[in-house]
Amino acid sequence: MVKNDTPTGPTAIEVRNLAFHYGASQALFDINIAIPARQVTALIGPSGCGKSTFLRTLNRMNDIIPGVRVEGDILIDNENIYRDKIDVVRLRKRVGMVFQKSNPFPKSIFENVAYGPRIHGMNDKGQLGEIVEQSLRQAALWDEVKDRLGNNAVGLSGGQQQRLCIARALAVQPEILLMDEPASALDPKSTARVEDLIDELKTKYTIVIVTHNMQQAARVSDWTAFFYEGRLVEYGRTKRVFTNPKEKQTEDYITGRFG
């Protein structure tokens, strides 16, 4: 028996019996998982296995797709996020998201980061400036952009744009950060910066990351969940999953024998 293979610290997200349907087709089957707070959990699996769908259920990003149906419970701070009374905007403030393709607004660097706090009601210029600086520092971008905060964000490099999107997500002070292939469009150097950043951010945030890059999952995460055909096949410590997977499907996938 492998020791310490289930998270024991505080849980950030508790998922119980989650099923997810896109119209008639079911994408997730009976998912049960406890995602630990202030650690990095990687979701891996072949295309179409449901990992991105699962990630998007965590801040109800799937709600915008017509015809979807969710069963089961997702609890964040003991609050069921699929109950009617939940304020989805508030939920997404708590559960931020960074996407595969960096998507800065066609505004200045400053405005990109200030956007979130502003729509949540902050107008104090001094405070906004502080939040922008702090967020950019946390995203390891401050030193590169501090002298040109008024420049259009679209002029930044791909790696910088992605870190700007991370800064933007951090500006509303989320508890949880969802990342969907955050480095797949970046060169190795920028990828390394984002990975280092993930490592720094986990001291303050719970991070859930979807990645197709197996080595990346192994490098950045503490816990790994392997999805296959809509089911959670295996979940455990990353070190254990990558050296000694329990399930044959996991082994076949991570060693490249299928998928």
Partner 1 sequence: MSQHLQKEIENLKKNLLTMGSVVEDMVYLATKSVVRRDTRMAQEIISRDLEVDEMEVNIEEECLKILALHQPVAIDLRFIIAVLKINSDLERVGDLAVNIAERSLFLSGQEDICLTFNITAMAEKVESMLTRSIDSLVNMDVPQAYRIRQEDDLVDAYNRDMYEKVKEELALHPESANCLLHLLSVGRHLERVADHATNIAEDVIYLVDAQIVRHTPEDFMEED
Site residues (CB under 8 A) for partner 1? 214-215, 218, 242-245, 250-251, 254-257
Nearest approach, Cβ of residue 43 and partner 1 (Å): 17
Q: Are 62 and 53 in contact (CB under 8 A)?
A: yes
Closer residue to partner 1 (CB): 78 or 215:
215
The CB-of-195 to partner 1 minimum distance in angstroms stands at 15
> Closest CB to partner 1 among 173 and 213?
213
Residue 183 Cβ vs partner 1, minimum distance, rounded to whole Å: 16
Encoded amino acid at 96, one letter: G
With a CB cutoff of 8 Å and minimum separation 6, the contacts of 171 are: 113, 114, 115, 116, 117, 131, 132, 135
Q: Which of 171, 215, 201 is nearest to 44 (CA)?
A: 215
Round to whole Å and give the CA distance between 164 and 189.
Answer: 16
Report the C-alpha gap between 250 and 245 in whole angstroms.
6
Give residue 140's region: left, alpha or beta (phi > 0; psi -120 to 50): left
Give exposure, 105-129, as e/b (b: 16+ Cβ within 10 Å). Answer: eeebbbbbbbbbbeeeeeeeeeebe
Cβ distance to partner 1 smaller for residue 148 or 257: 257
Query: Is the Cα dihedral 74, 7, 191, 250 positive or negative?
Result: negative
Helix ranges (H only) for 22-124 are: 51-57, 88-94, 109-119
Distance, in Å, from the CA atom of 171 to the CA atom of 71, rounded to the nearest integer, reads 32
Could you tell me the smallest distance in angstroms from the CB atom of residue 1 to partner 1? 11
Q: How far is the CB of 124 from partner 1 (least distance, A)?
A: 49
SS3 for 205?
A: coil
Place of tokens 């950060």: 177
Cβ-based nearer residue to partner 1, 204 or 240? 240
Q: Which of residues 161 and 250 has its CB atom nearest to partner 1 in the complex?
A: 250
**Least distance to partner 1 from the beta carbon of 36, Å?**
22
Q: Which is nearer to partner 1, 146 or 246 (CB)?
A: 246
Smallest gap from residue 40 Cβ to partner 1 (A): 18
Nearer CB in complex with partner 1: 144/195: 195
